[in-house]
Structure 1
Amino acid sequence: MYAMVEDGFTPMAVSRHLAGRFIFPTTVLKDPRQVPSMLLRFGRAIGRRAVAVAADDEAAVLLAEHAETLAEQFLLPAVPATLPRRLTSKEGLFHICSENDVPAPRSCAPADRAELVALGREWGYPLVLKNREAFTRLSAPVVSSTTVVNSEDELLARLESRRTPAVLAQEYIPDSVAEDWITHLYCDSQGVARVVFTGYKVRSWPPYSGATTRAWSRPNSQLAQLATGLCRRIGYRGIADLDWRFDRRDGRYKLVDFNPRIGAQFRLFETWNGTDVVRAMYLDLTGQPIPSSPQIYGRMFVLGQLDLPSAAASARREHRVPEALLPRRRTERAWLCRDDPLPALAEVVRFAGAGTLRLAQAAADVLTKRPAAHP
């Protein structure tokens, strides 16, 4: 396995399981035209064709749109070239859901600041904000991640002076009537879902709207059918990570994100013979059979350094002890691994450094009597 990393000290870069690493700074994505030649150079350094696994939305878009060129050095799923860009666009995904009769929260891409403010007054608060396109989060992010704003004042503070914010506004489904679920799957060149996994999201960071910090592997046949049916209708090929919000008010699972790539928690899901979505894709693209076996249920994924503050925030808001706090068997940890400890150590150092910078900024804001910047 080879990794393309932002720098040589990311947690992934120091794993003992790597045969090699290539530095791929995110600044390169500001001019994606140079990416194909860089990827081909990395591929030639490996010395044989390799299976390319996208780990973020931008990578998924670039691999699909340059698949014909990259085929010289990489094995890639036969996904339609324009589909990943539509799926990673929050506005594009909403249109796909509408076209294919898939439930989704009410959404709108406002043309300008005034329209967004008017939308908040019409729909009411809380309101969910998302960066509209995949590359926006790198070049001109309006929010750092999916963000819930609770008032017009908070909305205006987020927008600052932007007249045309590139965001999608989405209906907020109250936590009291909602459940968060995940579907991971791999579709082969014929569009057949060879492995399908379902799980339940317990917590996230930021709380109630961000990345998964704790999740269960749980059965949900209805959700599996919804995900595979959508992938079949749109002609999707490859690995996918879908996020759903179950709305108890109407009893429907509503699609909130379709990531055409591996999800950060993909190792939560595997079959009894050890197949996850990455192994399934590797076997398929290298012409090997994918063994049939059912999903293992009861496994848990934990992103420890963020799950603790998420649990604390949940306890403060809900006035009860959060669920699933104690260690248990069959837990998949995001970084900690007995036979490969360096990634966890690297993550501790980076996490501590980021926390120190935030505390220093907060102290400076207090000393200068400036309002603290939004995270």
Structure 2
Amino acid sequence: MSPELDREVPVLLVKVGHYPQSYSTLGVVRSLGRLGVPVHAMVEDRYTPTALSRYLARAVVRPSTGREPPGQLLAGITAAAQAVGRRSVAVATDDEAAVLLAEHAAELSPYLLLPPVAASLPRRLADKGGLYGLCRAHGVAAPHSGAAGSREELVVLARELGYPVVLKNLAPFARLRRPAVGHTTKVADEAELLAACPADGGVLVQEYLPAESAQDWFTHLCCGPGGTPLAVFTGRKYRSWPPDGGVTVRAAAEPNPELASLAAEFCRRIGYCGTADLDWRFDLRDGRYKLVDFNPRVGAQFRLFETVRGVDVVRALHLDRTGRPVPQGPQLERDFVVGQLDLMTSVASRSLPARLPRQPRRSRQRAWLSADDPVPALAEAARFGGRAVAHLARSTGTQARAALIRRAA
């Protein structure tokens, strides 16, 4: 069963930054395209996996790095929206796009149907320090955190929290323009801390919740005006890439009424409207769910979640923005896997289980493979293989140079 969407209203996937191998954008194209909604997507080039999907109405080639001036990025979004030819529902696939859409809603509203979220809220939620402040203000548990503006503050905060600690880029756009760390990074001591953050500022230092004493959960949801929950889903994260904190590569949809209520109530209190992806850690030591990240946009693994009525978060968004009711119903229980990245994580993290327990009644959602849309998986395999070969060549070259230096010494 699938909801009746308004096929006369198209969708535009809005993105900022260079990530051509995104399975979240492909998921949006397949989810809405299969129901007959015309989906247009901003892409880096015409050969990205998303651009090659049979369900994509149009690939709008608008490459960006995220380091461009805001005015230039906004002009690119406006041009893409105008190219669609009709006012369309906007779906942000990264934090920076969500921030721009909210802060420039008045300018973009002639071309895009946007959720009525407060202009400043997505930026505050995407900022790790801003999120921590909102959690404290609204009584939501979160790992103890602090923003470091200098290396001296970095050292002091890490000592106060106690090693190991987790380092994250603090704010949207900064992670693209001047990243403090390459990705979420766990450091064991001060030497690793200083090596991981050679530059001043722009980093969040966060309390580390030990893997043996915690469970990784997430909530994906779509809220209407005023933070009214339209669809709320919960699931467990079992593996990620990189292993210590990255994108989900193996997960399972698991109903968790307590967590669903916690996420929905937080969004209601802050008045959040639109799609969101929230990462939580359940701390087994005190029995509390602690909010780790709030991504004010569609999550990478959102296609893990769907109700028995055929509703996922982007379908809920389209229904809401076109004035249609969102059918309610329990979520399906199924698994999600990102093939090659899951294999890499399995090899790199031998302490984790090799696979999730399989249950006959559970279906499996794959990030890339799809019998009715095979070309994107082939394109991803080609790009992934090229990256793997390049990475291996760099590693081999580095090892060879090190060997030569040792021999010369």
Q: Normalization by structure 1: what TM-score?
A: 0.93
Residues 135-194 of structure 1: per-residue CA shift (max 9 Å, x gap): 11211112222111122222222123x1x1310000000000000001011111242101
Distance 2:379 2:389 in 1: 15
Q: CA deviation at 1:361?
A: 1.4
Residue 367 of structure 2 corresponds to 334
Residue 85 of structure 2 corresponds to 47
Residue 344 (1) aligns with residue 380 (2): no
Q: CA deviation at 1:247?
A: 0.4
Which residue identity is paired with 1:334? Answer: A
Residue 137 of structure 1 corresponds to 175
**For 1:88-167, what aligned pairs fall within 5 Å after superposition?**
88-160=126-198, 162=199, 164-167=200-203
Which residue identity is paired with 1:178? Answer: A
Distance 2:244 2:256 in 1: 21
Residues 215/283 of structure 1: CA separation in 2 closer, same or farther (3 Å cut): same
Residue 359 of structure 1 corresponds to 392
Deviates more, 1:23-32 or 1:255-264: 23-32
Residues 143/28 of structure 1: CA separation in 2 closer, same or farther (3 Å cut): closer
Contact 1:185/1:277 (8 A) holds in 2:
yes
Contact 1:300/1:331 (8 A) holds in 2:
yes
Contact 2:168/2:181 (8 A) holds in 1:
yes
SS at match of 2:65: helix
Which residue identity is paired with 1:230? Answer: F
Residues 32-74 of structure 1: per-residue CA shift (max 9 Å, x gap): 2122332222222211110000000001000000111100010
Match of 1:85 among 123, 146, 153: 123
Residue 196 (1) aligns with residue 229 (2): no
Distance 1:9 1:157 in 2: 37
Distance 1:357 1:157 in 2: 25
SS at match of 1:13: helix
SS at match of 2:204: strand
Residues 190/156 of structure 1: CA separation in 2 closer, same or farther (3 Å cut): closer
SS at match of 1:368: helix
Residue 268 (1) aligns with residue 304 (2): yes
Deviates more, 1:22-31 or 1:274-283: 22-31
Contact 2:226/2:268 (8 A) holds in 1:
no
Matched positions, count: 365
SS at match of 2:320: helix
Residue 236 of structure 1 corresponds to 272
Distance 1:226 1:121 in 2: 31
Q: CA deviation at 1:101?
A: 0.7
Residue 221 of structure 1 corresponds to 257
SS at match of 2:91: coil
Residues 127/58 of structure 1: CA separation in 2 closer, same or farther (3 Å cut): same
Residue 324 (1) aligns with residue 343 (2): no
Residues 314/363 of structure 1: CA separation in 2 closer, same or farther (3 Å cut): closer
Residue 251 of structure 1 corresponds to 287
Residue 373 of structure 1 corresponds to none
Contact 2:308/2:330 (8 A) holds in 1:
yes
Contact 1:147/1:210 (8 A) holds in 2:
no
Match of 1:308 among 310, 334, 343: 343
Which residue identity is paired with 1:275? Answer: V
CA RMSD in angstroms comes to: 1.8
SS at match of 1:81: coil
Residues 28/109 of structure 1: CA separation in 2 closer, same or farther (3 Å cut): closer
Contact 2:219/2:278 (8 A) holds in 1:
yes
Residues 325/12 of structure 1: CA separation in 2 closer, same or farther (3 Å cut): farther
Identity %: 54
Distance 1:189 1:111 in 2: 36
Residue 60 of structure 1 corresponds to 98
Contact 2:227/2:270 (8 A) holds in 1:
no
Residue 21 of structure 1 corresponds to 59
SS at match of 2:148: coil
Residue 30 of structure 1 corresponds to 68
Match of 1:279 among 295, 315, 331: 315
Residue 2 (1) aligns with residue 40 (2): yes
Q: CA deviation at 1:29?
A: 4.5
Residues 354/229 of structure 1: CA separation in 2 closer, same or farther (3 Å cut): same
Q: Normalization by structure 2: what TM-score?
A: 0.86
Q: CA deviation at 1:28?
A: 5.4
Contact 2:66/2:177 (8 A) holds in 1:
no
Match of 1:206 among 204, 223, 242: 242
Q: CA deviation at 1:325?
A: 7.0
Contact 1:36/1:69 (8 A) holds in 2:
no
SS at match of 1:253: strand
Structure 2 unaligned residues grouped into runs of 5+? 1-38, 404-409
Contact 2:221/2:275 (8 A) holds in 1:
yes
